[in-house]
Structure formats: C-alpha cells, structure tokens
C-alpha cells in the first residue's frame, strides 16, 4: 500500500537534492495499523553519512555568516509552509505511526509551535552584558554556532521530534545532518521537502534515512560533527555518549523514563483515573513521559483499581479518531512488550486487564498491544525498573506519603513525575523532592511546552534541556568579549 502522500522509495536529502544510497540499499517500512508495506527507504551507510556531513560542512560558513534574524526569517517561512501543509504532515504521521489522524494533527500543531518559537529566537538569541571589576572595562557574552550538528531521533512523535532538533540547531547557525527514525522515514523526508520549498539553502539541512548501527553510529563517530543531539533509548544514548566523548564532541541526550504517578488518599479519584489512562495509554504508551508506575495509597487502592480497570476496559483500540489508542510502532517492539508481561507474570505479578497482542479481525494484521494494567509486581523486577514503551502500566500499593515518595524515587530513571492530592503541603513536598526533570500536580506525566525546558535526571538524560531557550545552550558556544576603553583617548 502506498497512500501517494510520499514516494514508494523515500530518498535522502543531501545538499538540496534527493539521493539514493551509494550502494543502492533499501529497507521496508510497514504500516503499524495493517502490517502492510507503506514504502521503502534508503539504507544509508558510512559513505552516505560522509556525503551528508560534507554537504553540511560546505554550507556552514554562509549559513553561520547570516544574521540570526535572516536565519529566523527562513525558519519562519518553513514554519508557515508546515502550517499550510499541516493536514498532509498529519496524514503521513498517521500512516507511519498508526496514531489517529486527530492526534497526528495535534502533534503537528506542537511541531509548528516549536518551529515558530525557535524562528523567533532569531530576534533574541540573547547574550549577557554585565559589570567588570576593572574600571573602563566592559563585559559581555555572545553566542556562536558549533559547526555541523548530528541529530538522531526516535519514531514515537515523528514530526515533533524533527522540529525539536532542527529548529534550535539551525537558528543558532549550525548546519545539520538529521538521521530519521527508521519507522517514520516519510515524515522526515516530507519535512525536508517543505524546508527546500521554503527557501532553506542547499546543504543547511541534510536528512539521512537508515538504520541505527549502519547510519546513526557513523554520524556520531564522524570527526566533522561538532554536536550530537539524540532522542531515544538509554542503552543507545550510553553508546553515543561513549563514542562522542572520545573525541570530546558536545552531546545532548533525551532518553527513557519509568515515570511515577502518585495517587494520594485525598485525591479526586475520577480525575486521577482520567489522567492515569491518558498518561499510560495515549500514543499507545510510546512516550518517554508515559506513566508506567502508578503508586496508590492503601486507603484508596481498591477503589482506584476498580475505577482504573473499568476505564481501561472502555478504551477503544484502533487507528481512527473514534479510537483512544493505536498500534505500537513495529512487530519487534510488540513482541518485546508481550515477553515483558509474561516475564512479570512468571515472577508473581498479576495482569488485571490486557497483557497480550490483540488478535480480533480488526487488529490481527497490525501491531496492537491490549492496554494492560498489572499489580503485585516486585518494585525491583524488570517490569518495574525497565522502560517497556507500550500501553502497559503497573499499580503499586503504599501506606503513606513517605512510602510513595520513596518508591517514586527508587528508579534508575528520572524524567517526569506526577502527584494527585488536594493537600498543598503534600504537593509542594513532592514537587521539591521527586527526582525528575518535570513534576506535575493533578494532571498527567506529560512532556513540556515548546517554550519550556524538558529533560531528565539520572538515566533519563545527561542533564541537557530541550526545547525552550535552554536548547540554545546545546547548539551554541558562549564567547566572553571584554572591551577596554582608554579614557585619555576620549
């Protein structure tokens, strides 16, 4: 099946032109909703990475030499082109991920907001002026680009992930090579097309299709790549940090999560259930911020469990706007999820609902995991400590606030966290003491807004923050400038 939204063979964008792999390699991209072929994409390797990095390096002096306002104007033209073609972007996102068209349109809106915010940075890109200890001396900082940025992204929210990396990298004056996620090649390809149409100079943004080891790893190792920004799993992030660290390249890592949501005995339980369902199951649980550890006070545990299982039972699974969640991205991920649940069951956990691949006629050909709620999992077991990246969440019973906070923090990850309570003292204590990059009260474990910094602590990242103006710190270097005035010459 090809929807005609994109070509049957999705090519790379290198130096403003579409290019196949130097060795002609291709890989298949399947629809998660139907299991059928959507398109093929270029299987880039070292030689293609070399071509893309060379193009970016060649384009760098002219792009870095423009004023930030000029760059911002071009990036704003791309944002406008995205807005004019938002329905097409969303249709491609929906085809490649299986998410509902309305959800894909929502994600596209977020990507455009990100684009507009960063394009506007062209008129700010602030440095700092400050005082000096020395008379007649003036001190200030300015931002300088780094060179070629290597950008590597996951498939879960494909157009948002593209915007999240590309706009801050380019506004700062870097040129870039983006390695698209292998499950969503057409989304990245279409973005490249929109950028060309909007007037982005050739070579400023190069987009490579390909698999992680073959195309991503050579980009990370390339000596001409000055900064690597990665969104993906903690395991791959660790490899990237090691490789880039050897040549002291700058690295930003936005990694996984095992996000806790605490339901206190004074919570509005209906509101808590609503948000737990959204946190755990929206985008089929394929969110770094997904709520996967639901920590509930003993006093309301039984009542909450009953409400949550009933709400999960009501969820509709499928790729349309009538559905609450869609398929997971590919069959390998689905197989891993089923295996994780089976392992948890063997270790004594109890599956309250779901737990398996959906095999009803509407679902059998796609990659559908039934929304799953588990209880009695050992907090130290695999299902409690490792990210599953699917519609699977675990319930834990705790006696009180201290036990809840301790369990929330007892994780290798620290990306987002949430508490449901009406007690201002509890929520303030939680937001201060929870080990996470984002803390939320009375809503869900959700990501940030385009103008806010997002990122995690512990194994959820390396301390960098994207997006927000904080992303500018990743893609630019600060230079101190001191100007000394000679009063006798005035």
Pick the closer one to ligand NAD by CB: 152 or 166: 152
Q: Would you call 171 helix, strand, or coil by DSSP? A: helix
Shortest reach from residue 405's CB to ligand NAD, in Å: 23
**What is d(CA 370, CA 295) in angstroms, rounded to the nearest whole number?**
22
Q: Would you call 246 helix, strand, or coil by DSSP? A: helix
Q: Do residues 326 and 98 touch, judged by C-beta distance below 8 A?
A: yes
Shortest reach from residue 288's CB to ligand NAD, in Å: 3
Output the CA–CA distances (angstroms, integers) from residue 219 to 146, 372, 461, in the order listed: 16, 37, 20
Query: Is residue 418 annotated as part of the catalytic site, yes or no?
Result: no
Q: Would you call 161 helix, strand, or coil by DSSP? A: helix
Comparing CA positions, the residue from 230, 268, 231 lying closest to residue 249 is 230
Pick the closer one to ligand NAD by CB: 158 or 318: 158
Pick the closer one to ligand NAD by CB: 337 or 398: 337
Shortest reach from residue 237's CB to ligand NAD, in Å: 7
Pick the closer one to ligand NAD by CB: 54 or 219: 219
**What is d(CA 474, CA 467) in angstroms, rounded to the nearest whole number?**
10
Residues contributing to the site for ligand NAD (CB under 6 A):
152-156, 179, 181-182, 211-213, 216-217, 220, 231-233, 236, 239-240, 254-257, 288, 387, 389, 415
Shortest reach from residue 192's CB to ligand NAD, in Å: 16
Shortest reach from residue 415's CB to ligand NAD, in Å: 6
Residue 350 neighbours by CB under 8 Å, 6+ apart: 374, 375, 376
β-strand pairing of 372-375 with 350-353 = antiparallel
Question: Which of 107, 121, 254, 387 does the annotation list as catalytic?
Answer: 254
Q: Would you call 147 helix, strand, or coil by DSSP? A: coil
Query: Is residue 172 annotated as part of the catalytic site, yes or no?
Result: no
Pick the closer one to ligand NAD by CB: 115 or 255: 255
Pick the closer one to ligand NAD by CB: 142 or 457: 457
Question: Which of 172, 264, 288, 418 does the annotation list as catalytic?
Answer: 288
**What is d(CA 205, CA 200) in angstroms, rounded to the nearest whole number?**
8
Cα dihedral 57, 61, 62, 68, rounded to 10, equals: 110
**What is d(CA 113, CA 443) in angstroms, rounded to the nearest whole number?**
22
Pick the closer one to ligand NAD by CB: 216 or 291: 216
Comparing CA positions, the residue from 14, 78, 32 lying closest to residue 209 is 14
Shortest reach from residue 176's CB to ligand NAD, in Å: 15
Shortest reach from residue 213's CB to ligand NAD, in Å: 5
Pick the closer one to ligand NAD by CB: 355 or 461: 461
Helix (H) or strand (E) segment spanning residue 261: strand 259-263
Using a CB cutoff of 8 Å and minimum separation of 24, what contacts does 139-143 make? 139/480, 139/481, 139/482, 140/480, 140/481, 140/483, 141/478, 141/479, 141/480, 141/481, 142/478, 142/479, 142/481, 143/172, 143/472, 143/476, 143/477, 143/478, 143/479
- Total count of residues recorded for the chain: 490
> Per the structure block, which two tokens stand in for 28?
């298949």
Q: Do residues 108 and 93 touch, judged by C-beta distance below 8 A?
A: yes
> Hey, how many other C-beta atoms are within 10 angstroms of the C-beta on 368?
27
Shortest reach from residue 386's CB to ligand NAD, in Å: 10
Q: Could you give the residue numbers annotated as active site?
A: 254, 288
């Amino acid at each position: 099946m090809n929807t005609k939204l994109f070509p049957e063979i999705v090519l790379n964008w290198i130096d403003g032109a579409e290019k196949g792999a130097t060795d002609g390699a291709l890989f298949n991209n399947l629809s998660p909703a139907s299991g059928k072929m959507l398109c093929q994409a270029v299987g880039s390797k070292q030689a293609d990475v070399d071509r893309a990095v060379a193009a970016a390096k060649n384009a760098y002096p002219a792009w870095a030499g423009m004023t930030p306002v000029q760059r911002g104007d071009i990036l704003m033209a791309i944002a406008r082109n995205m807005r004019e073609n938002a329905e097409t972007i969303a249709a491609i996102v929906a085809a490649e991920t299986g998410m509902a068209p309305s959800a894909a349109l929502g994600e596209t809106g977020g990507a455009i907001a990100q684009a507009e915010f960063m394009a506007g940075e062209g008129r700010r890109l602030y440095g700092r002026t400050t005082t000096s200890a020395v008379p007649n001396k003036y001190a200030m900082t300015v931002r300088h680009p780094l060179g070629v940025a290597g950008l590597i992204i996951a498939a879960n929210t494909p157009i948002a992930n593209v915007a999240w990396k590309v706009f801050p990298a380019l506004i700062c004056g870097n040129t870039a090579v983006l390695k698209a996620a292998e499950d969503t090649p057409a989304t990245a390809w279409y973005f490249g097309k929109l950028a060309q149409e909007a007037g982005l100079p050739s070579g400023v943004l190069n987009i490579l299709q390909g698999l992680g080891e073959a195309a991503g790893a050579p980009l990370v190792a390339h000596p001409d790549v000055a900064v690597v920004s990665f969104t993906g799993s903690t395991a791959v992030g660790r490899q990237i940090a090691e490789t880039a660290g050897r040549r002291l390249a700058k690295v930003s890592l936005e990694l996984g999560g095992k996000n806790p949501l605490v339901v206190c005995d004074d919570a509005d339980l209906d509101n808590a259930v609503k948000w737990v369902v959204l946190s755990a199951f929206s985008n089929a649980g394929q969110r770094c911020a997904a709520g996967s550890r639901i920590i509930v006070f003993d006093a309301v545990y039984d009542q909450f469990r009953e409400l949550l299982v009933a709400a999960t039972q009501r969820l509709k699974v499928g790729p349309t706007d009538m559905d609450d969640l869609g398929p997971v991205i590919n069959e390998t991920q689905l197989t891993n999820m089923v295996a994780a649940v089976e392992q948890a069951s063997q270790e004594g956990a109890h599956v309250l609902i779901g737990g398996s691949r959906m095999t009803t006629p509407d679902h059998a050909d796609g990659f559908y995991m039934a929304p799953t709620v588990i209880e009695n999992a050992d907090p130290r077991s695999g299902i409690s400590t490792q990210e599953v990246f699917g519609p699977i969440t675990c319930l834990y019973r705790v006696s009180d606030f201290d036990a809840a906070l301790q369990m929330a923090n007892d994780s290798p990850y620290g990306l987002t966290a949430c508490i449901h309570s009406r007690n201002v003292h509890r929520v303030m204590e939680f937001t201060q003491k929870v080990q996470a990059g984002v803390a939320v009260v009375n809503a869900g474990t959700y990501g940030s807004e385009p103008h806010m910094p997002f990122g995690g602590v512990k194994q959820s990242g390396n301390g960098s923050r994207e997006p927000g103006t904080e992303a500018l710190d990743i893609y630019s270097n600060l230079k101190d400038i001191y100007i000394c005035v000679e009063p006798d010459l005035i």
